[in-house]
Amino acid sequence: MRDLLQQTIPSLTAEQCDRFVAYYDLLIDWNTRMNLTAITAPEDVVKKHFADSLAALPFLPEGARVADVGTGAGFPGVPLLIVRPDLRLTLVDSLQKRIGFLETVLQTLGLSAVCVHARAEDFGQNPAYRASFDVAVSRAVASLPVLLELTVPLLKVGGKSICYKGDASEELAASRGALHKLGASAKTVSVPADYGARSLVICTKNAPTSKQYPRKAGTPAKSPLR
């Protein structure tokens, strides 16, 4: 695992490598008791979970307040925090047992982040969190119009929602209405990968979000903004 990490992400320090190894061990151990990931081979985890998660690094300002929405087993938030412990990270997921896993990971790795068990729709309407983040990240959670409704309300004006995607062109075309309604604009950055098309859709919040968004839990996915 250590060799794979150093080959795939050569910039890692010894301490960061140790943390990724400990994270891998916990992921594989807990995965025997709960459904965390279908990807378990060391080379696949390093490439498709760890390195893939780090794609947003160039877009995270020093000390940024970051929300990882629908983090699951901690992707992309935990790898980003391992490499950038300056980030003030909040991990959000609607499944309580995944939050339990994440709390164990953070404690074992000696890292600090806030873990919240919530639906993103409720989290985005909570005054403690709404309009308070510099960046939202999300990977493999929902289609782009849905993700925009879940993440843009969380951002300060000028903040960015970074959505990890494959080929995003069709989703981006389907998101024009959502971007307009949410007062945001988007651009796509392609990410080099040898395991398929990868890109980041980077959406900038240009104006405060209307209070009606996000709509109640389940509605964004059932009836995406158009």
What is the contact surface with ligand SAM in residues (CB under 6 A)?
70-73, 75, 92-95, 98, 119-121, 139-141
Nearer to ligand SAM, 36 or 184 (CB): 36
- In angstroms, what is the minimal distance from the CB of 186 to ligand SAM? 19
In the sheet with 133-139, reading across from the earlier edge strand, the strands are 114-117, 88-93, 65-69, 133-139, 155-165, 198-205, 184-191
- In angstroms, what is the minimal distance from the CB of 79 to ligand SAM? 10
Nearer to ligand SAM, 136 or 172 (CB): 136
Nearer to ligand SAM, 182 or 207 (CB): 182
Contact indicator for 64, 135 with CB cutoff of 8 Å? yes
CA distance 226 to 215: 14
Nearest partner of 136 among 190, 71, 52, judged by Cα = 71
Nearer to ligand SAM, 19 or 98 (CB): 98
CA distance 126 to 188: 29
Distances (CA, A) of 84 to 58, 66, 71, 79: 11, 11, 17, 8
- In angstroms, what is the minimal distance from the CB of 122 to ligand SAM? 8
- In angstroms, what is the minimal distance from the CB of 139 to ligand SAM? 4
Q: Which residue is nearest to ligand SAM (CB)?
A: 72
Q: 184 burial class (0-12, 13-18, 19+ CB within 10 angstroms)?
A: buried
E strand residue ranges, the chain: 65-69, 88-93, 114-117, 133-139, 155-165, 184-191, 198-205
- In angstroms, what is the minimal distance from the CB of 100 to ligand SAM? 13
- In angstroms, what is the minimal distance from the CB of 36 to ligand SAM? 8
Query: Helix, strand, or coil here: 198?
Result: strand
Nearer to ligand SAM, 154 or 172 (CB): 154
Nearer to ligand SAM, 138 or 175 (CB): 138
State the CB neighbour count (10 A cutoff) for residue 4: 18
